[in-house]
DNA sequence: AATCGGTCCAACCGCGACGGT
DNA sequence: AACCGTCGCGGTTGGACCGAT
């Protein structure tokens, strides 16, 4: 049986939006908020399909959108995140408040690709075009030494990636909520982040890594930023085998799936002192919004709970 | 002024993931 | 477990714009 169309195409407008349509959509969302895109067009009196409305709002009408050219800092963040995540535009957008995935994707294809080629970097692979590692490359890959922090049966490898987030501002809540939904790819590849604001990383050009190791199962890589920037965040990346999936679907097991869009990570808040952190290291499902260092109040429900748990653990160690 | 080619970006399309039943 | 509806993501496209000739 074929997939039913998302909307009745015969009675919907296509193409560029008119000012009146924009205004209708804005007015409706102002009153009713985002969501339920399927029924929105009818309720708002728009002859558009829900997908079209959603796209128009997210990419163009949202009030928190940043307009204008990308800054050099934004360029560098995009390049670095792309080298890490690939074409995960929504994930990258989640790190650039006010920018949309579509905008970043377009910008990548029209500007950054050329920029990278001029630097001698292959934009597809983010590796040097000539196959050697140039000093200009933003990301160098080296073997990582790891320590075993994982008590689960799934092999994980934690690596450090230092990214330059000098321009990082507090993300808008909408970015955070969107980010919460970006973890499928990371789940599938069992990739974990631990993002801290450890200033020592700024000074330490080596960004030492820690994490589990299983030489038989997981490749180990360390991505290391050239330490020429004044402020760098320490982003630990764990790469391992994909989480086991139920036999007939791509979903997680029942206990795992209790956490919607969950994100398995070593849940250690940045402020936890090292000994406590080491003791508290257990795999927990939390999402990227915490792992990316967002503050309480901007976290999703899952991360908020995880944060509270970890803080109580911290209290026990200090008390 | 007209034409052409390149660039940019808003919007569309198809697909996969998730949640509910 | 299977099915269905909805949502969100990434790739692609079409047309507007702009500079060169």
Q: What is the pLDDT of residues A56-89, one digit of tens each?
A: 998 888 888 887 888 888 888 898 888 888 888 9
Q: Dump pLDDT digits (tens) for A107-139.
A: 988 888 888 877 777 777 767 766 544 333 333
Measured CA to CA, the distance from residue A129 to residue A17 in angstroms comes to 41
Beta bridge partners of A237: A159, A193
Q: Are A81 and A163 in contact (CB under 8 A)?
A: yes
Q: Give the nucleotide with minimal C1' distance to the Cα of A183.
A: B17
Please tell me whether any atom of strand C lies within 7 Å of the Cβ of A182: yes
Task: For strand C, list residues 262-301 of chain A whose Cβ lies within 7 Å of it.
Answer: none
Q: Find the range with the poorest average confidence among A95-104, A182-191, A245-254, A309-318.
A: A245-254
Please tell me whether any atom of strand B lies within 7 Å of the Cβ of A59: yes
Amino acid A123 CA to nucleotide B6 C1' distance, rounded Å: 20
Task: State the DSSP code for A71.
Answer: P
Q: Which positions on strand C lie below 7 Å from a protein C-beta?
A: 1-2, 4-12
Q: What are phi and psi of A121, to 5 degrees?
A: -115, 135
pLDDT given at position A309: 53
- Given this chain, do its domains A9-61 and A72-126 carry the same CATH topology? yes
- The fraction of chain A above a pLDDT of 90, given in percent, is 1
Amino acid A126 CA to nucleotide B13 C1' distance, rounded Å: 28
Task: pLDDT band for A245, please (50, 70, 90 cuts).
Answer: very low
Q: Name the superfamily (CATH) of residues A9-61.
A: Homeodomain-like (1.10.10.60)
Task: For strand C, list residues 223-242 of chain A whose Cβ lies within 7 Å of it.
Answer: none
Q: Dump pLDDT digits (tens) for A20-51.
A: 888 888 888 888 888 788 888 888 888 888 88
Please tell me whether any atom of strand B lies within 7 Å of the Cβ of A90: no
Please tell me whether any atom of strand C lies within 7 Å of the Cβ of A247: yes
Q: Give the nucleotide with minimal C1' distance to the Cα of A181.
A: C8
Q: Are A160 and A208 in contact (CB under 8 A)?
A: yes
Pairs from A128-133 (Cβ < 8 Å, separation ≥ 24):
none
Task: For strand C, list residues 128-157 of chain A whose Cβ lies within 7 Å of it.
Answer: none
**Residue boundaries of the structural domains of chain A:** 9-61, 72-126, 139-242+256-313
Amino acid A284 CA to nucleotide C13 C1' distance, rounded Å: 42
Amino acid A83 CA to nucleotide B20 C1' distance, rounded Å: 37
Q: Which positions on strand B lie below 7 Å from a protein C-beta?
A: 7-19
A235 to A19, A171, A311: CA distances (angstroms): 43, 17, 20
Please choose, from the candidates A156, A162, A166, the residue with its C-alpha nearest in 3D space to the C-alpha of residue A189.
Answer: A156
Query: CATH assignment of A72-126, given 1.10.10.60, 1.20.120.450, 3.40.190.10, 1.10.3720.10?
Result: 1.10.10.60
């Amino acid at each position: 049986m074929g997939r039913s169309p998302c909307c009745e195409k015969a009675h919907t407008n296509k193409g560029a939006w008119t000012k009146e349509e924009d205004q209708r959509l804005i007015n409706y969302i102002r009153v009713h908020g985002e969501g339920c895109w399927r029924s929105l067009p009818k309720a708002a009196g728009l002859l558009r399909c829900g997908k079209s409305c959603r796209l128009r709002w997210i990419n163009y009408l949202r009030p928190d959108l940043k307009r204008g050219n990308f800054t050099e800092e934004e360029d560098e963040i995009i390049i670095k995140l792309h080298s890490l995540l690939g074409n995960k535009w929504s994930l990258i957008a989640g790190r650039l408040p006010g920018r949309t995935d579509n905008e970043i994707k377009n910008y990548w294809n029209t500007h950054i690709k050329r920029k990278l080629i001029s630097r001698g970097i292959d934009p597809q692979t983010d590796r040097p075009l000539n196959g050697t590692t140039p000093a200009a490359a933003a990301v160098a890959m080296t073997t990582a030494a790891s320590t075993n922090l994982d008590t689960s049966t799934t092999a994980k490898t934690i690596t450090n990636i230092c990214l330059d987030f000098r321009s990082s501002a507090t993300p808008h809540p909408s970015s955070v909520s969107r980010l919460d939904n970006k973890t499928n790819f990371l789940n599938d590849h069992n990739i974990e982040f631990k993002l801290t604001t450890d200033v020592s990383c700024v000074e330490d050009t080596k960004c030492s890594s820690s994490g589990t190791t299983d030489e038989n199962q997981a490749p180990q890589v360390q991505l290391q930023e050239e330490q020429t920037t004044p402020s760098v965040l320490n982003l630990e990346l764990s790469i391992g085998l994909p989480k086991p999936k139920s036999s007939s679907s791509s979903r997680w097991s029942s206990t795992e799936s209790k956490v919607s869009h969950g994100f398995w990570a070593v849940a250690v808040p940045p402020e936890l002192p090292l000994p406590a952190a080491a003791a508290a290291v257990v795999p927990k499902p939390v999402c990227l919004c915490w792992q990316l260092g967002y503050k309480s109040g901007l976290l999703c429900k899952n991360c908020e709970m995880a944060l509270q748990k970890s803080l109580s653990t911290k209290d026990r160690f200090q008390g």
